[in-house]
Amino acid sequence: MIILGVDPGTLLTGYGIIERNGAATRVLASGVIKNPPAQLMPLRLRKIYLELSALIEKYHPDEFAIETAFYGKNAQSALKIGQARGVSVLAGVNYEVPVTEYSPREVKKAVVGNGAASKDQVQFMVVKLLKLKSTPRYLDSSDALAVALCHSHRIGQPRTGFKDWKSYIEAHPERVVHPYTKAERKKES
């Protein structure tokens, strides 16, 4: 299964394309769509749409995952991100790729285990989880890979999740990372 993850923005739109084959996941492509700050908004939106469309044509993703807008104090920024999200979703819909949206908190929790994680923490975990040889140059790129990873973890699961961590771990023991042996944990306590 191929998943296209998108972190929308009008100046930098991050994208990450991963392929999941059973338990194995590999990166097919990642990067950013860059727009100059002086460029008119309609031209920025057109570029985002066209470049995402080209990625969809090249990689034929089975799923499209995008981060929802973060509503902070700046309404103007939220509107601009909304426009970038709109053309991004349109690219997926025009190619009949199923689109799923995730909140920033949901993505961070899926990748880092903490919904309040920093962008640097997300980037660190993306590098580790995907066994990347180098750190992505832009945080927008690693955020897009995180969105794709989040979707990869959520496919086939109800969005309501599990009632508690214990039931989740019982259902998914392969996703538990054990940094220490039992003997090492006893020494720590």
Identify the active-site residue in 51, 63, 106, 140: 140
Instruction: Decide if 105 contacts 67 (C-beta within 8 A).
Output: no
Identify residue 43 by its one-letter amino acid code. L
C-alpha gyration radius of the chain: 17
Identify the active-site residue in 7, 51, 63, 143: 7
116: its two tokens: 């309040």
Which is it for the CA torsion 2, 27, 108, 143, positive or negative?
negative
Backbone phi and psi for residue 49, each to the nearest 5 degrees, phi listed first: -60, -50
Asked if 164 is an active-site residue, the reply is no
Instruction: Decide if 173 contacts 163 (C-beta within 8 A).
Output: no
Reference 148, options 12, 29, 33; nearest CA is 29
**Using CA atoms, how far apart are residues 45 and 40, in angstroms rounded to an integer?**
9
Asked if 184 is an active-site residue, the reply is no
Identify the active-site residue in 51, 63, 67, 143: 67
Asked if 67 is an active-site residue, the reply is yes
Q: Any idea which residues carry the catalytic annotation?
A: 7, 67, 140
